[in-house]
Every structure is written in structure tokens, then in C-alpha cells.
A and B are shown apart, each in its own frame.
Chain A
Amino acid sequence: DTAVSQTPKYLVTQMGNDKSIKCEQNLGHDTMYWYKQDSKKFLKIMFSYNNKELIINETVPNRFSPKSPDKAHLNLHINSLELGDSAVYFCASSHGTSGGTYEQYFGPGTRLTVT
């Protein structure tokens, strides 16, 4: 069973377009995250979200917005894509404050290429 899944795996699009990446977890976790990993492999957290609060990394442009239809899903919507948005985007989930363990489970990643 896939614990954290993302779609699509690859996304190639042009500058100025709007795109979404979907994420689903079947672990029953209450907290989900989005990370951006650039070519230098740095994992930059973009958002943390549970059913109570959304925490946004203040350096993330407001062109990026998370949308959570329910606890098992956290989608990432990106408006007006720019060349610098090219990266691998990872979704992750964890128990957060409950469950006693804080291990983050990552999805397989979505490689976004903006041309």
C-alpha cells in the first residue's frame, strides 16, 4: 500500500501557466506538508497544515497556495508559474502532535519543469 502518493510524477509546463499537484496519505496522519527541493538538494518547507492551522513559510510567494479538501489530502496550487519554480516538490505527512512519533513520511515527489 502506498502511504503518501503524489500526482503527477512529472510536470512540464510553460511560464505563466497555473498548475496543481495532488497529494494523498492513507496513514491517518493529522499533519501534512509541502517541501520544495532545488537542484542543490536543499529541502525547503513551504507549508505545514493540520485540521487546525495552516503555517506558511513567509518566504513562499503567494502564487503558491495549499488546498485541503479533507485530512487525507493536501494539494498544491501554483499560479503564474516562473522559471525559478522548477524543482522537485515533496508532500509529506506525520502524526504531528498526536501519536507520539514525529516521523515524516514523504511522497515520491513531483518534478516540475517550467520552460
Chain B
Amino acid sequence: DAKTTQPNSMESNEEEPVHLPCNHSTISGTDYIHWYRQLPSQGPEYVIHGLTSNVNNRMASLAIAEDRKSSTLILHRATLRDAAVYYCISYGPYGSTGNQFYFGTGTSLTVIP
């Protein structure tokens, strides 16, 4: 059972901002929201994670809805190197129902030059 729902694919023009949505309507209060991305034949790469507040790092920003049922990964200026499959994952503490670091189908991002 998918714990998160993401669009299968999205396109963005190079140097434009990209907003990747994720629904996690069954998330519990102790589950963190993680975002990873993967290039073909490479291991997933950490992008960002958060619990309740919006988060920023050098790669991206994470906007978490007030009810925590959805979040959005924001790439401020897409580059060709950002073309990848992006995964949104909800992950909870040991003993909770969300204890598996489970990858869904992700969103395949295409960046158009």
C-alpha cells in the first residue's frame, strides 16, 4: 500500500522553479517527510527532509502543509542535472505503522533546455 502519492511525471524548463507535489494523507504525527532523487543506475540521493516546519537547504526547499497531509519539494532553478526520479517518503519511528522506509513510484522530472 502506497503511503505517499506523487504524479508520475513532470516537465520543467531549465532555470525555472519546479514544484513537485506529494500527498501523504495517512501520515502520523511522528512521521518525517523525506525526499530523495535517483538517476538511472545510481543509488538514491538525499534531497531534504522535515517534520512540521518548512525546510531549506542548498539543494531545495520543502514546504509542508499545515495539516501535514501534503508537501511540496521546490527546486528554485532547475538545471539539466536535476532531471531524475524524485521520491517522497514518510518515515516513522520504530514500532509505528510508518516504520518502513518505503519508496513509492516517484515523479520522473524532465528538464527542458
The finding on whether chains A and B are genuine partners in a shared complex, rather than unrelated, reads no
| B-binding residues in A (CB < 8 A) | none
| A-binding residues in B (CB < 8 A) | none
